[in-house]
Structure 1
Amino acid sequence: MTTSYSEKTTMRPSLRKLLAASCFVGIATWATASPASILVEAESFEDLGGWKLDTQFINEMGSPYLLAHGLGTPVSDAFTTIQVESTGLYHVWVRTKDWVARWKAPGTPGVFRIAFNDSYLSQTFGTEGTHWHWQYGGSVELPKGNNTIRLHDLSGFDGRCDCIALTSTKQPPPDDPHILPAWRRTLLELPETPISHGPYDLIVIGGGYAGTAASISAARMGLTVALIQNRPVLGGNGSSEVRVWAKGLIRRGKYPRIGEVVEEFRDNAKKSPGTYEEFGDSKKEAIVRAEDHIDLFLNMHAFDVDTEQGQTHIKGVTALDTRTNQVHLFTGRLFCDATGHATIAYKAGAETVMEPNGRMGMSNMWAWADTSELQEFPETPWALPLTMDDFPYPRDHHGQWFWESGFDKDPLHDAEGIRDWNLRAVFGAFQAMKNGGGSKDHTNAHLTWVAYIGGPRESRRVLGDVVLSQEDIVSKREFSDGCVPSTWSIDLHYPKEQYAAKFPDNPFISIAVHDRRVDRSFGYPVPYRCFYSRNITNLFMAGRCISVTHKALGTTRVMQTCGMMGEVVGKAASVAIRNHETPRGVYENHWKELAELLCLPGKAHRETPDAPLEIPDDVMPLAGSDGPPTGIDPVGLANRLSGTIQDDRDATYQGAWQTGHGLKGYVGHGYRYAPAGSHATATFTL
């Protein structure tokens, strides 16, 4: 682990309480001096119009915010109504930023105006400030009673609004990040005591493939589960918001039943990025809500934990409702960090690691279309100044995974900057296509989609009892608790030199370097001991943040593999609850019981952890160790023919045979072919 550094939680619960108390002292003067102050959170607007709710960067800037992501076309207005207690003159402050100012880029793309009662302020917002700050908007006379507010986008290029403060004096609101949260709570008149939920058997934080599968798996084993997701949809990178198709083969290896839950909800994308419909957001949510034992909490951002027993045991998780700003407390016996960034593990004081440099980056993919009519695209002087030679041409009308940056940037505290750099790259490329050297060939080209939610690949990882390495995988080291089959190559991303020269400090095009010594058929069985924290006694993890090295992450990080981790964690949690054990105790004392559960169909269920198991009639057929057939099922074919099938994999080969999958109608997992005149032979033994 010489290439990593450890991170420890630096703020313990007692210190947080002390800080909160000092915050209230700090805001008392401001609140007393401005008794008529009104705070309007943008995310709580009654009608968001075309503005997007962006919750990715709460840990950085303290709040969700609205984003005018219109791809160069102004989005429709966001609208709300506020109650004003007394007629008077109010000073208007808007928390916003000029999102390209940090790079001293020309122009101000994210501009918008605000109207009160359909009368616009003279100030244009989003024109100043390299960081989030309060921009003064002048004053407005408001009558007592109902008053309307509109956010009016002027550009369609990612203007952003956090909140609006109305004050009776011109004194600006606090900007200190230690004071601002408590000040918000006071003006919003939110209760000091969080809304309580639980106790649950298992609380899963993160609703990507790993968290979704963990929740379903645990619920079907009779556990009560809370699934907390900070977006309005499930799926994470495999949702319509990010549109990365799910990779990693499932239903194979030592326990070929693992992966059946993933198969129920996985996407149907034909390429990456695919279409909105292919990612099946509603299907994922419907499958989760059909489980009686799961309470699903969408738009809920978990940001803190309560610990006990010498700070090694989690009691609860605190989360923010991203639409109302109300705080919720979830208590439970077991927890699963499926956040990708190990957010909950880090807050709990778990031992974590993160590469100091050379990490894989974040992608924001995009798509465009050829239309039958002339299409205009605005000039974007603030975007990266690109020519057609500065980026790989987006063939097949989409910018793929390799539109990736942030390799040596901070993925935890500057994720917004990484995302915004990606946006500058995408808009700069399309500017070159439309208004630059590619204009003659793209007169009818139209930008149809750009992901504003970033797809990160790597940040913190939690240390477990086993830290899986590249050498473990390629040498096929056997662990007694190996279970989840990882079939993806060891796939690590680096800046592509061809496109890195122009922006050496932050290249935006990557190349994948593959170590293909991973068994693609059977898979490498990732140990269960990678799925729980070595020092937090009741914490599981699933997804990108499991206990692996940077290089081993190259194979384990793909979504269907992460989903299978969740399936194992869900069943392990049921063993822990049944036996009053810790995650480590499941391995040390009850591994046989967990192994038996891993052999059950994905739809097997029980009403409580101690109830009898029930196997429904519609379970998936048991796959073999190399996975389900990709062609005609040889067993079914043999039954229909009342005969015996000898698959090509049963033969002995000599000569230049190759494996193929392209010609449909084959039996089993593929076919073999040899060049004409090669004199290659295949021998079958009957």
Structure 2
Amino acid sequence: MKARWIRLVTGMLLIIFMNAPAHAQKHVYVETESFEQKGGWVVDQQSFVVIGSSYLMAHGMGRPVKDAATTVQFPAPGKYRMWVRTKDWAPFPTGPGKFTLHLNGQQVGKVFGENGSDEWKWYDAGMVDVKETSAQLVMKDLTGFNGRCDAILFTDAMKFTPPNTLKELNAFRNKALHTSSDVADAGQYDLVVVGGGIAGTCAAINAARLGLKTALIQDRPVLGGNNSSEVRVHLKGDVDKNHYPKLGRIVREMDNGDPGNGHPDGAEYGDDRKIQIVKAEKNLSLFLNTHVHKVEKENNRIVAVIGRNIMTNKEQRFSGTYFSDCTGDGTVGYLAGADFRMGRESKAETGESLAAEKSDSFTLGTSNLWASVEKDSVNSFPETPWALQFSDEYHIDQDRSDWEWETGFGNFNTITDAEKIRDHNLRAIYGNWSYLKKNKPEKYAKRQLAWVAYIGGKRESRRILGDHILTQMDIQEGKRYPDGTATATWTIDLHFPNEKNSKYFEGQEFFASTKHIRVAPYTIPYRCLYSRNISNLFMAGRNISTTHVAFGSTRVMRTCGMMGEVVGFAAFLGKKYKTSPRGVYEQHLKELVGILNDEVPAQAVNTNTGKQ
């Protein structure tokens, strides 16, 4: 009997041993954007769709920034191999984004950010001997020229190489951070607005004031989008030529005056005012620093969106009856499978005289504005051999940029190449400034760069298609459709590479020109403000349903803000009658127009979320 038990236990232990891994790997994954102390480093989320996360960047305009630091918790003391995910953003042949990493005061590995490759990769930093279960990790910038780091991995698996492709990296990251199933419930809303630019903010405020329980989700720490202190574009489009007196009131609240483009004082753009106005609304919940990257659907209807905090990486689920895509990029619509267009249509397709001969992927570009200020004494600026090179024959003699500093023009995809576009703009800005400081001391010796945008100000990307697609003819003929809503006044303003800039930087243009084609005030049909195939999706902003040519007029921010106000009214009627955005058009258009004319009161509805 005893021998039989011994054989049974031995057999069971053998089975367990044979099926157990020889060594349970220990991975400690550190996302740099989650550092406890970010010092002078900034969080950049603009390439989330490409690399699957945010990262920290040393944006010091040529002056090294303060260290970033965090405490790393280890499962046990011991030897770990350290990996660093970074890139050389300007490898000509090597770039300036140099930084070092220090663990408990000791430098680990080499100098990073000067490896000669502009692809995000993992770099082996060698072995570290961890004496305690926690250690202080410091990231030290060496140049102030936009060094960047996505993540740091410590592993006790000596032969392990972390994955680099997006799908495999996302799976590994989620498993290492335990975020794959850890999604918090952010609640159920009548209207979920994604995108906190002028359009989205106006939509959310109006809906909340009409009694709808509303969520406003923004992927940056400030509201205003291109009109924020991060981008600094002034508001354009008129609100005083409106066909409907009810529109433009919230846009005026958002308006902080006109400091122009690229003002050196970011306070001129009123970030705090915008947030205070939003937080004053009792029916409105604000979620800053939250990037929506996933959509849940039932048939052709959005049920919820998932957002990840760009600093903590914690995820939240937002359920809703209606959703409004005010992202500019059409992110929610794209994730939901909404019909969209990106690029130029052909003349044959639209009948527009201003359309391209053949359809293509050409889009208006992205700007990174900048400004300098006069200092009391002479100051220097580093040499920039890695930047674009300027000469007496061609340079741009400006102490502050305007809208013309623009990269894109079909050479880049404004969504998937957002980082490349921004980096190209930086190479142009720094290269030109270096030339001016060295060769025009009489004007620039005492001037210093005071501000350079690291968040790109996009003009064009996806346009989500609605039941009506606005065209050049609609605009120039001044068609008054029965569902005309927000009044637009801006010219048809389609940018193209500046001729002289193309001569010296062919294929690498960063300076734009335009030809303004004036139009009489016209109204944008309500049918341009909801998706034709996702039943509960509104749009407001530059991603509404237009052709590329018509977009040249509708894209300015005061006009976009009025679109947002219209979406708020339409969501109110949808809630009131438990119908879809299309249902508002088909069954309740008279009431919507009456509200816009200030003839029909829009009384607040009960905030208990209804079902369509």
TM-score normalised according to structure 2 size: 0.90
Matched, 1:485 2:487: yes
Mapped pair 1:201 → 2:203: no
Q: Which residue of 2 aligns with 1:412?
A: 415
> In 1, distance between residues paired with 2:594 and 2:489?
23
Which residue does 1:245 correspond to in 2? 234
Q: Matches of residues 671-686 of structure 1 in structure 2 within 5 Å? A: none
Alignment-derived partner of residue 103 in structure 2: 116
Q: 1:583 is aligned with what amino acid?
A: P
Q: 1:229 aligns with which of 218, 229, 245?
A: 218
Question: In 1, Cα distance between the equivalents of 2:23 and 2:279?
Answer: 48
State the distance in 1 between where 2:166 and 2:468 align: 38
- Counterpart residue identity of residue 99, structure 2: F
The answer on whether the counterparts of 1:83 and 1:144 sit within 8 Å (CA) in structure 2 is no
Instruction: Report deviation, 1:176.
Output: 2.1
Match among 345, 349, 356 for residue 337 of structure 2:
349
Is the Cα–Cα contact under 8 Å of residues 50 and 75 in structure 1 kept in the other structure? yes
Give the fraction of aligned pairs with identical amino acids, expressed as a percent. Answer: 44
1:191 Cα deviation after fit: 5.5
State the alpha-carbon separation in 2 of the partners of residues 372 and 604 from structure 1: 57
Match of 1:526 in 2: 524
Q: Deviations over 1:577-635 (max 9, x none)?
A: 11011101101110122123224499986363699xxxxxxxxxxxxxxxxxxxxxxxx
Counterpart in the other structure of 1:556? 554
Which of 383, 386, 409 is 1:382 aligned to? 386
What secondary structure sits across from 1:158 in the alignment? strand
What are the equivalent positions in structure 2 for 1:387-536 lying under 5 Å apart?
387-394=391-398, 397-408=399-410, 409-435=412-438, 437-516=439-518, 518-519=519-520, 523-536=521-534
Shift of 1:47: 0.9
**Runs of 4 or more above 4 Å deviation:** 31-34, 600-605
Match of 2:368 in 1: 364
Q: Partner residue of 1:149? A: 137
Q: How does 1:251-290 map to 2 (within 5 A)?
A: 251-274=240-263, 275-290=265-280
Task: Establish whether residue 314 from structure 1 lines up as the match of residue 316 from structure 2.
Answer: no
Aligned residue for 2:223, secondary structure, equals coil
Match of 1:638 in 2: none
Equivalent residue number for residue 354 of structure 2: none
Local SS of the residue matching 1:422: helix
In the TM superposition, residue 370 of structure 1 has moved relative to its aligned partner by 2.0
Whole-angstrom CA distance in 2 between matches of 1:227 and 1:247: 23
For the residue of structure 2 that corresponds to 1:390, the secondary structure is: coil
Given that 2:339 and 2:465 are in contact with CA atoms closer than 8 Å, whether structure 1 keeps it comes out as yes
Q: CA deviation at 1:545?
A: 0.4
Residues 328 and 32 of structure 1: is their aligned pair in 2 closer, same or farther, counting only changes over 3 Å? farther
Alpha-carbon spacing, 1:321–1:595, altered in 2? closer, same or farther (3 Å): same
Rounded to whole Å, the distance in 1 between the matches of 2:88 and 2:464 is 36
Task: Please point out which of 29, 39, 44 is paired with 2:34.
Answer: 44
Inter-partner Cα distance in structure 2 for 1:367 and 1:106? 28
Are positions 1:88 and 2:90 aligned together? no
- Consecutive unaligned residues of structure 1, counting only runs of 5 or more, are 1-28, 612-686
Task: Write the distance in 2 (CA, Å) between the matches of 1:467 and 1:446.
Answer: 46
Letter in 2 for 1:235: G
2: CA distance, partners of 1:407 / 1:32: 55
Q: 2:48 aligns with which of 49, 58, 73?
A: 58
Q: Residue type matched to 2:528 in 1?
A: C
Aligned counterparts of 1:566 and 1:76: Cα–Cα separation in 2: 40
Deviation at 1:322, TM superposition (A): 1.1
Q: Which runs of 5+ in 2 are unaligned?
A: 1-18, 344-359
Distance 1:535 1:607 in 2: 27
Preserved CA contact (<8 Å) 1:246 1:560: yes
Code of the aligned partner of 1:424: R
**Partner deviation per Cα, 1:36-89 (whole Å, 9 max, x = no partner):** 221111011111100000011101111100010000000000111122232212
Partner-residue secondary structure (3-state), 2:83: strand
Query: 1:644 matched to which residue of 2?
Result: none
- Closer, same or farther: CA 257–83 of 1 in aligned 2, 3 Å: same
Cα distance change of structure 1 residues 584 and 603 upon mapping to structure 2, 3 Å threshold: closer
| Further displaced range: 271-280 or 455-464 | 271-280
- Cα distance in 2 for partners of 1:577, 1:404 equals 41
Displacement, 1:327?
A: 2.0
2:69 partner SS: strand
Q: Which amino acid aligns with 1:383?
A: A
User: What's 1:670 paired with?
Assistant: none
- In 1: Cα distance, 2:432 partner to 2:562 partner: 37
Residues 584 and 557 of structure 1: is their aligned pair in 2 closer, same or farther, counting only changes over 3 Å?
Answer: same
SS in 2 for 1:210: helix
User: Per-residue CA shift, 1:349-389, capped at 9, x if unaligned?
Assistant: 11100113332100011001222201010111000011254
Determine the C-alpha separation between the residues in 1 that align with 2:210 and 2:119. Answer: 47
- Secondary structure (helix, strand or coil) at the match of 2:291 reads strand
Show the counterpart of 1:595: 593
How far, CA to CA, are the matches of 1:247 and 1:302 in structure 2?
28
Following TM superposition, by how much is the alpha carbon of 1:251 offset from its aligned partner in structure 2, in angstroms? 3.9
440 and 609 in structure 1: CA distance in 2 versus 1, 3 angstrom threshold: same
Q: 1:106 to 1:439 in 2, by over 3 A?
A: farther
- 1:260 offset after TM fit, Å? 0.4
Contact 1:302–1:318 under 8 Å retained in 2: yes
Q: Do the aligned partners of 2:463 and 2:546 also contact (CA within 8 Å) in 1?
A: yes
Aligned-pair distance for 1:329?
1.3
Match of 2:540 among 539, 542, 550: 542
Q: Distance in 2 between matches of 1:197 and 1:189?
A: 19
8 Å Cα contact 1:364-1:404 kept in structure 2: yes
Q: Which amino acid aligns with 1:281?
A: D
Whole-Å separation in 2 of the counterparts to 1:446 and 1:545: 37
Contact 2:366–2:459 at 8 Å: present in 1 too?
Answer: yes
Do the aligned residues in 2 keep the contact of 1:114 with 1:121 (CA within 8 Å)?
Answer: yes
Q: CA deviation at 1:198?
A: 2.4
Count of residues paired in the alignment: 570
Q: Which moves more between the two structures, 409-418 or 200-209?
A: 409-418
- Taking the aligned partners of 2:400 and 2:562, their CA distance within structure 1 comes to 29
Whether contact under 8 Å (1:206, 1:227) holds in the other structure is: yes
User: Given that residues 591 and 600 in structure 2 are in contact (C-alpha distance below 8 angstroms), is that contact kept between their aligned partners in structure 1?
Assistant: no
437-446 or 224-233, which moves further after superposition? 437-446
Contact 2:467 2:532 in 1 (8 A): yes
Contact 1:199–1:330 (CA under 8 A) maintained in structure 2: yes
Matched residue, 2:346 = none
Rounded Cα–Cα distance in structure 2 between residues aligned with 1:477 and 1:444: 54
- Normalised TM-score (structure 1): 0.81
The CA RMSD measured in Å over matched residues stands at: 2.0
Q: Which amino acid aligns with 2:394?
A: D
The 10-residue stretch of structure 1 (372-381 or 382-391) with the greater mean CA deviation from structure 2 = 382-391
- Rounded Cα–Cα distance in structure 2 between residues aligned with 1:364 and 1:217: 31
Find 1:568's aligned residue among 566, 569, 591: 566
Cα distance 1:298–1:605, how it changes in 2: closer, same or farther (>3 A)? Answer: farther
Q: What amino acid is aligned across from residue 373 of structure 1 in structure 2? A: S
SS in 2 for 1:499: helix
Q: Which amino acid aligns with 1:131?
A: E
Partner residue in 2 for 1:98: 88
**CA spacing shift, 1:144–1:222, aligned 2, 3 Å:** same
Displacement after TM superposition at 1:555 (Å): 1.0
CA–CA distance in 1 between the matches of 2:406 and 2:599?
38
